[in-house]
Amino acid sequence: MKILLTGSTGQVGHELERSLQGLGEVIAVDRGRMDLSNLDQVRDVIRSVRPQLIVNPAAYTAVDKAESEPELAHRINAEAPAAMAAEAKALGAALVHYSTDYVFDGRSPGARVETDTVGPLNVYGASKLAGEQAIAASGVPHLILRTSWVYGMRGKNFLLTMMRLAKERDELRIVDDQHGAPTWSRTIADTTALILAQARAGGQPWWERNSGLYHLASEGRTTWFGFTQAILEETGIDCRLVPITTDQYPLPAPRPQYSVLDTSRLQERFVRLPDWREALRLCVR
């Protein structure tokens, strides 16, 4: 199987480049080869590579910056995936795509299932939702994997930011009223590969029975404050932590208050997911 992988310089893409190796020939394209803001280039690359599977972790992920660049965010997060879906469909290929807990408004507590009402609060979330909807509407065989609070030992993420800040400062003030599940980039990549491998082992292409939307995040939940406490415990870095409210940390983009994803659908069909705290421990190790 020929697999076209985007975003291999990103957190999830980097892990996927490793995790997908056993499944076929992985052709990784970076921004230089395929710029997602250039839709003609997206189409041209897919037509020349002719993959059987496209895996697309590339995205515009700068949540605050997106508020002042809505058109660019929409092109990368919605129009490019729509173009990938159309090209994949024309080739008879399938598409694996990633989305976010930020498609939800998060106004009430409780974990969200795939069929729950969406209502993004910010430009990033709206652009990601538009991407999901375009793929679903295209009729291409697909997996859309919604994840949350991604971290890892490379790239730009909350774990590395907090490790740096905690070393630099005596005290950190961290929001303690936004609830979610931190998810290790490696969990996402390995789970993706497992789903693809399992489905293939069934003797029929996975999309014949399992095309659709799935929540893929760690088990359990915490707040950004709780996540930071755990980061300090695991890394042994010493710093005073002060819990604050969202109002006390103003940012350009509003964030959902409760965006825990219910992952039962994925776990019942495919594979168990690890607890967030345990995954953090393994990652830091």
Ligand X SMILES: Cc1cn([C@H]2C[C@H](O)[C@@H](COP(=O)(O)OP(=O)(O)O[C@H]3O[C@@H](C)C(=O)[C@@H](O)[C@H]3O)O2)c(=O)[nH]c1=O
Which residues contribute to the site for ligand NDP (CB under 6 A)? 7, 9-13, 31, 35-37, 57-61, 76, 98, 100, 128, 147-150, 155
Q: Choose one: 24-32, 41-49, 167-175, 206-214; the region binding ligand X (CB under 6 A).
A: 167-175
Which of 183, 187, 248, 169 has the alpha carbon at shortest distance from 220?
Answer: 183
Contact 124, 98 (CB under 8 A): no
Contact 211, 97 (CB under 8 A): no
Q: Closer to Mg ion at the Cβ: 137 or 251?
A: 251
Contact call for residue 97 and ligand X (CB under 6 A): no
| Residue 236 CB coordination number (10 Å) | 7
| Angular region, 106: left φ>0, alpha ψ -120 to 50, beta rest | left
Which of 52, 117, 43, 45 has the alpha carbon at shortest distance from 87?
Answer: 43
CB of 194 vs Mg ion, minimal distance in Å: 28
| Residue 211 CB coordination number (10 Å) | 17
Q: Given candidates 174, 213, 216, 273, which one binds ligand X under the rule CB under 6 A?
A: 174
Q: Closer to ligand NDP at the Cβ: 11 or 242?
A: 11
Q: Given candidates 30, 158, 190, 262, which one binds ligand X under the rule CB under 6 A?
A: 158
| Residue 26 CB coordination number (10 Å) | 21
Q: Is 60 in the active site?
A: no
Q: Closer to ligand NDP at the Cβ: 171 or 180?
A: 180
| Angular region, 220: left φ>0, alpha ψ -120 to 50, beta rest | left
Q: Choose one: 45-53, 173-181, 184-192, 275-283; the region binding ligand X (CB under 6 A).
A: 173-181
Q: Given candidates 44, 71, 107, 249, which one binds ligand X under the rule CB under 6 A?
A: 249
CB of 124 vs ligand NDP, minimal distance in Å: 8
What is the binding site for Mg ion (CB under 5 A)?
63
Active site amino acids: 124
